[in-house]
Structure 1
Amino acid sequence: MLIRNKLTLRFTLLVLGIQLGFSAFIYYFSAHTRAQRFEFRLANSGTVAGRVLMRTHKLEAGMLGSLRRSDLLTLPREQISIYGPDNTLRYSSADSINQMANRARLRKLVPGRLVSFPREGQRETVGLVFSEPTSPDQYRILVSAEDRAGWAQLRQLGLLLALSNVGALAVTVLAGWLFAGSALRPVARISRQAGRISATNLGRRLSESNGRDELAQLAQVINTMLAGLEQAFEAQKSFLSHASHELRTPLTTLTGTLETALAYDTTLPEARQSITQSLEAARRLTDLTNSLLNLAKVDGALPAFVPVRLDECVNEALILMRSRYPGREWRLAFKEIPTDTEADLFMLAGNADLLTTALLNLLDNAGKYSTGPVRTEITYAASNWLQISITDAGPGLSPEELHQIYEPLYRAAGAMGRPGYGLGLPLTRRIVLRHGGRLEITSAPGQGTTATVLLPAAPL
C-alpha cells in the first residue's frame, strides 16, 4: 500500500474514532437526560393525582364519585395506581392494569425516594410514597406511560448524528488525501531527483529544501551517501586504472622477453638469460596478483575471531623483517604496561594471520625506506586499547602524499624505483578497521614516518 493511502487511512480512522466517540457520548447523554426528564414528569403526574384525590377525600373509601378516572391522565397511555396505607388498591386509572406486578413493586417503595422500574417495551414506570402534611396516611403511587415525544426526538438525534458522521467521513477522506499528498510532495520531489542520478552522474545532489525538517535531514543523509558513493566509484576507477597499468607492465615484459627469446636466442646462455628475465616478471606478476586478492579477501567475510596475543604477532613479523633486511637495526620496546593485574596482557580478539600481515606491511615499509634504526613500541593507550607505534628514519611524506597513501596502488614520489605496488597500507588499514581499531600515519619531509595502530584489547 502506498504511503499516501496509509496516511489517508490512518487519518480517517483516527478522525472517525473521535467522531464516533463524541457522537456516542452525545447520544448517551441525551438518552440519559430524556429518561430523567420523563421520570420527573411521571412523578409529577402521580403527585398531582394523589394530591387531587386526597384533598377531595376520594381515596379514603376508594370512591371517585363524579370524578372520572381518565380526568387525571396527562401523558400518552398513562396508567396510575394508588395504594392505601393498608396496601389496598384505592385508585386505578384503568381496569386492564396488571396489579399483580404493581403489588410486587410496592415493597421497593420508600418515603422520600423516587423508584424507577425496568422498562417494558416503550412503557416506563416509577413509584413513590405520597402523603399530605395534614394527614398521617401514606399512599403508594405507581405511574407508567410512554414517552413518545422523547423517543421521537432521540431517534431524530440518532439519525442526525449518523448523517453527520457519514458526511464528516467523506470530508475526512478527502482532507486526508489532500493532506497526505501535500505532506508527501517533498518526498515525491526527492524521489524524482534521485531517479535522475545514476553511475554516470553521481555528482548531482538532492535539494535540501529548508534544511530544517525531517525531509531535509533525509536529503542531507542521501547527499552524504552519494558523496561517499562518488568517492568510492572514483577510487574504484583509479584502482582499476592503476591495477591494469601495474599488471600490464610485467605482462608486457614477460611477453616481450619470450618473443625475443623465441626469435633471437640461439645459445644456451642467451636462453637462460631470457628465462631468468621472464621468471622475474612472472614472480612480480604473481606478487601483485596475490596482493590484489588479499585486498579483496579482507573486504569479504572473515573467520570467527579468537583470542590472539599481539606481542607474538609483533615478534613473528620482526623475525621475518630481520631476515629480509639483515643490515637494518630493529628495536622493540614495551612502555606503560599495567602491573596491577593478573590478566594475560596483550590479548585481543582477532585473526593472527591478518594482524601479522598488517604488521609485516608496516615494518616492511619502514625497513624499505629507513636509513637508520626502526623502533617498535607496544603500550596501553588506555585500559582497554593496545597501541603499536612503528617509527622509521626515512625521507618522510608530504601532506599531499599523506592524503593519498590509503588509495590502492598509489605510490609516493620517494617510492619510485623501489619494490612494491602501493597495496600494503590500504590492506593494513582495512585489516585494522575490521578488528575495530584505527591506523594513523604521521610524517613530515626529512623527519621520518610513524605508523600507529590502535586495537581494542581484552578486558584486564
Structure 2
Amino acid sequence: MLIRNKLMLRFTLLVLGIQVSFSAFIYYFNANTRAQRFEHRLATSATLAGRLLVRSHKLETGTLGSLRRNDLITLTGEQISIYGPDNTLRYSSTDNIDQAANRARLASLQPGQLATYPAVGPRESVGLALPHPHAQGVDYYRIFVSAEDRVGWSRLRQLGLLLVLGNVGALALTILAGWYFAGAALAPVARISRQAGRISATNLGRRLSEGNGRDELAQLAHAFNTMLAGLEQAFEAQKSFLGHASHELRTPLTSLTGTLETALAYDDSLPAARQSISHALDASRHLSALTNSLLALAKVDGALPAFGPVRLDECLNQALAFARAKYRGRELRLAFGELPAEAEADVFMVPGNAELLTTALLNLLDNAGKYSAGPVLAELAYAGPATLRVRITDAGPGLSPDELSHIYEPLYRAAGAVGRPGYGLGLPLTQRIVQRHGGRLELTSVVGEGTTATVWLPASPV
C-alpha cells in the first residue's frame, strides 16, 4: 500500500474514532437526560394524583366528586393505579391496566420511596409510597404511574439520525481532507523521488533540493546528497584506478608480448634466446608483483579475519627489520615517546591483525627509505589515554600540496617517484588497513625538507 493511502487511512480512522466516540457520548447523554426527565414527570404525576385523591380523602369515601377517571391524565398513554394501606386497589385511571405487575411490586415499595421499574416496550413506570397522616397515625398509599414518552423518543431518534448523517458527511470530508493533506505532506517526498530518478551513474553530479534545510525531509535530502557525494568520489576513484591499472598492466604485458614475439621471430642462437627469456621473466615478475598488490588492496576492502590482541611494538620492530634488510645503507632508528605512568606490561597492545599491521607499517618505512637521503626515525608513543601513535619521519624531497591531495589514490605516483620502483599502491593499502583497524593515517610534508607519516590506533585497555 502506498504511504499516501496509509496516511489517509490512519487519519480517517483516527478522526472517525473521535467522531463516533463523541457522537456516542452525545447520544448517551441525551438518552440519559430523556429518561431522567420523563421519570421526573411520572413522579410529578404520581404526586399530583396522590394529593388530589388521597389527601382530599376522596378515596376513603369512594367518591371522586367532580373528578372523572381521565381528568388526571397528563401524559401520552398514562395509567394511574392507587393502592390503599391494606394493599387493595382504590383507584385506576382505566380498566385495562395490568394490575398483576403492580401487585407484585407492592411488597418491595418501601414507605417514602420513589421506585423506577424497567420499561416494558415503550411504557415506562414508577412507583411512589405516599404518606397519609391521620389521627391514629400515618398510612401509606402506593401509587403506580406508567406512560409512553413518545415525544422524548421521537427527539432521541431524530438526534440519532442526525448524528449518523453527520458522521457519514464528516467521514466523506475526512477522506477528502486526508487525501489532500497526505498529498501535501508527501509532495516533497515525490519531488525527491523524481529528482532521485533522474540521477544515474553517468550524472552523479546532480543533487537533491534540500528545501528549507530544517525539517526531516531536508535532513533526508542532505543525507542523500552526502551519499551521492561519496558515490561520486568512489566512482571517480574507481575510474581513476581502472585507468591507472589498465595502463600499468598494459606496459609489462606489452613488453612481455613484444619480447616473446621478437624471440620467436629473430632469436636463432641460445645466448639470444636466453637474453629474451631474461627480459620476458623480468616483465612477468613485474606483472606478478603488480597483480599481487592489486589483489592485496581488494582483499583489505573485503571481509577480514577476526581481530585479536596484537603487540604494536613487535609489528613495528618486524617492519623495521624488513626495511633494514632492504635498505642496508640507510639508518632507521626507533624511539619511544610518552607512555602511561602507571602501566605495568603490554602497553602497546591493540586489537587487530598482526600481518596487516606489519604490512601497513612496512609500506610507510619502505616509502621513507626509498625517497629519504638521510636517516629515518620511527617513534612509538601514546597520543592519549587510549590511543597509540606511530610517527615515521624521513628527510626526502617532500611532496607538494597538490601531490598530497592525490597521494591516497590507487596507482597514483608523485613526480619524484618517476624512475623509482613501486606501483602507487602502498599508501592506499596502508590507509585502508589503518581505517579497518579503527585508526587514522595522516601525511604532512614540506618540499625539500621531508615527509612525516602518522598513524593513530585505538589501544587495548591497560
Write the deviation string for residues 387-418 of structure 1: whole angstroms up to 9, x where unpaired.
21111121111111111111111111111111
- Cα deviation for residue 109 of structure 1 reads 4.4
- Equivalent residues of 2:349, 2:459 under 8 A apart: yes
The structure-2 alpha-carbon separation of the partners of 1:392 and 1:107, relative to structure 1 and needing over 3 Å to count, comes to farther
- Identify the residue that residue 10 of structure 1 maps to in structure 2: 10
CA distance in 1, matches of 2:263, 2:233: 45
- Identify the residue that residue 35 of structure 1 maps to in structure 2: 35
1:345 aligns with 2:352: no
- Identify the residue that residue 59 of structure 2 maps to in structure 1: 59
Question: What amino acid maps onto 1:75 in structure 2?
Answer: L
- Cα deviation for residue 61 of structure 1 reads 5.1
CA distance in 2, matches of 1:402, 1:107: 108
Question: What amino acid maps onto 1:35 in structure 2?
Answer: A
- Identify the residue that residue 316 of structure 1 maps to in structure 2: 318
CA distance in 2, matches of 1:161, 1:127: 34
The structure-2 alpha-carbon separation of the partners of 1:40 and 1:284, relative to structure 1 and needing over 3 Å to count, comes to same
The structure-2 alpha-carbon separation of the partners of 1:411 and 1:46, relative to structure 1 and needing over 3 Å to count, comes to same
- Higher mean C-alpha displacement, 308-317 vs 291-300: 308-317
- Identify the residue that residue 167 of structure 2 maps to in structure 1: 165
Matches within 5 A, 1:297-376: 297-342=299-344, 344-376=346-378
Question: What amino acid maps onto 1:252 in structure 2?
Answer: T
Matches within 5 A, 1:16-415: 16-60=16-60, 64=64, 67-106=67-106, 108-109=108-109, 114-131=114-131, 136-342=138-344, 344-415=346-417
Write the deviation string for residues 356-400 of structure 1: whole angstroms up to 9, x where unpaired.
111111111111111222222222222222221111121111111
- Higher mean C-alpha displacement, 103-112 vs 411-420: 103-112
- Equivalent residues of 2:85, 2:140 under 8 A apart: yes
CA distance in 2, matches of 1:446, 1:59: 133
CA distance in 1, matches of 2:367, 2:108: 106
- Cα deviation for residue 84 of structure 1 reads 3.6
SS of 1:331 mapped into structure 2:
strand
Question: What amino acid maps onto 1:47 in structure 2?
Answer: T
SS of 1:129 mapped into structure 2:
strand
Question: What amino acid maps onto 2:176 in structure 1?
Answer: L
CA distance in 1, matches of 2:342, 2:105: 92
Question: What amino acid maps onto 1:337 in structure 2?
Answer: L
The structure-2 alpha-carbon separation of the partners of 1:393 and 1:125, relative to structure 1 and needing over 3 Å to count, comes to same
SS of 1:60 mapped into structure 2:
helix
Write the deviation string for residues 408-460 of structure 1: whole angstroms up to 9, x where unpaired.
11111111111111111111111111111111111111222111111122222
- Equivalent residues of 1:61, 1:90 under 8 A apart: no
Write the deviation string for residues 109-133 of structure 1: whole angstroms up to 9, x where unpaired.
4566543222222222223333478
Structure 2, gaps ≥5 residues long: none
CA distance in 2, matches of 1:128, 1:58: 18
- Equivalent residues of 1:122, 1:147 under 8 A apart: yes
- Equivalent residues of 1:193, 1:206 under 8 A apart: yes
Identity of aligned residues (%): 75
Write the deviation string for residues 44-89 of structure 1: whole angstroms up to 9, x where unpaired.
1111111111243123355546643332222222222333445544
SS of 2:146 mapped into structure 1:
strand
Question: What amino acid maps onto 1:247 in structure 2?
Answer: L
CA distance in 2, matches of 1:102, 1:347: 99
Aligned counterpart in structure 1 of residue 422 of structure 2, from 420, 423, 446: 420
Structure 1, gaps ≥5 residues long: none
CA distance in 2, matches of 1:189, 1:164: 37
CA distance in 2, matches of 1:83, 1:375: 122
Question: What amino acid maps onto 1:7 in structure 2?
Answer: L
TM-score by length of 2: 0.93
Write the deviation string for residues 257-287 of structure 1: whole angstroms up to 9, x where unpaired.
2222233333333322222222111111111
The structure-2 alpha-carbon separation of the partners of 1:102 and 1:274, relative to structure 1 and needing over 3 Å to count, comes to same
CA distance in 2, matches of 1:372, 1:224: 43
CA distance in 1, matches of 2:104, 2:390: 100
Write the deviation string for residues 330-375 of structure 1: whole angstroms up to 9, x where unpaired.
2222222224245632222222221111111111111111122222
CA distance in 2, matches of 1:174, 1:380: 66
Question: What amino acid maps onto 2:246 in structure 1?
Answer: S
CA distance in 2, matches of 1:111, 1:382: 93
Count, aligned residues: 460
SS of 2:82 mapped into structure 1:
strand
- Equivalent residues of 2:111, 2:130 under 8 A apart: yes
Question: What amino acid maps onto 1:291 in structure 2?
Answer: S
CA distance in 2, matches of 1:380, 1:60: 116
SS of 2:242 mapped into structure 1:
helix
- Equivalent residues of 1:440, 1:451 under 8 A apart: yes
CA distance in 2, matches of 1:287, 1:75: 112
Question: What amino acid maps onto 1:440 in structure 2?
Answer: E
- Higher mean C-alpha displacement, 79-88 vs 392-401: 79-88
Question: What amino acid maps onto 2:69 in structure 1?
Answer: R
- Higher mean C-alpha displacement, 30-39 vs 51-60: 51-60
- Equivalent residues of 1:393, 1:448 under 8 A apart: yes
CA distance in 2, matches of 1:245, 1:219: 38
CA distance in 2, matches of 1:157, 1:312: 89
CA distance in 1, matches of 2:102, 2:71: 21
The structure-2 alpha-carbon separation of the partners of 1:72 and 1:334, relative to structure 1 and needing over 3 Å to count, comes to same
- Equivalent residues of 1:51, 1:132 under 8 A apart: no
CA RMSD after TM alignment: 2.2
